[in-house]
Amino acid sequence: MTSFKKSGMYILSSPSGAGKTTLVKKISKNKNFSVSISHTTRLPRPNEKNGKDYFFTSKNNFKKLIKKGEFLEHAKVFSNYYGSSKKKVISNLNKGKNVIFDIDWQGTRQIRNKRLKYKLLTIYILPPSKKELINRLIKREKKNMKTVKKRMKEFKKDLSKWKEYDLVVINDDLKKCYARIMKVIKNKQKENLYDYEYIKNHVKRLNI
Ligand code: ADP
Ligand code: 5GP
CATH number at residue 114: 3.40.50.300
| Region 152-169 average pLDDT | 97
pLDDT single digits (tens) 94-128: 999 999 999 999 999 999 999 999 999 999 999 99
Are the C-beta atoms of residues 172 and 128 closer than 8 Å to each other?
yes
Q: What is the pLDDT of residue 195?
A: 97
Closest CA to 82 of 41, 117, 119: 41
Q: Considering the domain boundaries, does residue 90 fall inside one? A: no
pLDDT at 58 > cutoff 70: yes
Q: Considering the domain boundaries, does residue 136 fall inside one? A: yes
Closest CA to 105 of 178, 50, 162, 154: 162
Cα of 84 to ligand 2 centre, how many Å? 9
User: In DSSP terms, which residues pair with 8 in a beta bridge?
Assistant: 119
Q: What is the pLDDT of residue 31?
A: 92
Phi, psi of 160 (to 5 degrees): -65, -10
Q: Whose CA is nearest to atom 19 of ligand 1?
A: 19
pLDDT at 22 > cutoff 70: yes
Burial of 165 (C-beta count, 10 Å sphere; 0-12/13-18/19+): buried
In the chain, % of residues over pLDDT 90: 91
Q: From the CA of 171, give the closest atom in ligand 1.
A: 23
Q: What is the pLDDT of residue 198?
A: 98
Q: Whose CA is nearest to atom 12 of ligand 2?
A: 103
- The ligand with the least distance to the CA atom of 41 is 2
Are the C-beta atoms of residues 84 and 101 closer than 8 Å to each other?
yes
Q: What is the pLDDT of residue 1?
A: 53
Q: What is the pLDDT of residue 190?
A: 87
Q: Considering the domain boundaries, does residue 82 fall inside one? A: no
Dihedral over alpha carbons 108, 110, 113, 118 (to 10 degrees)? -60
Instruction: Quote the CA–CA distance of 117 and 8 in Å, as a whole number.
Output: 9
Mean pLDDT of the chain: 95
Domain that holds residue 132: 8-36+97-206
Domain count, the chain: 1
Q: What is the pLDDT of residue 87?
A: 97
Q: Whose CA is nearest to atom 24 of ligand 2?
A: 103
Q: Considering the domain boundaries, does residue 134 fall inside one? A: yes
Q: What is the pLDDT of residue 187?
A: 87
Q: Considering the domain boundaries, does residue 60 fall inside one? A: no
| Region 34-51 average pLDDT | 96
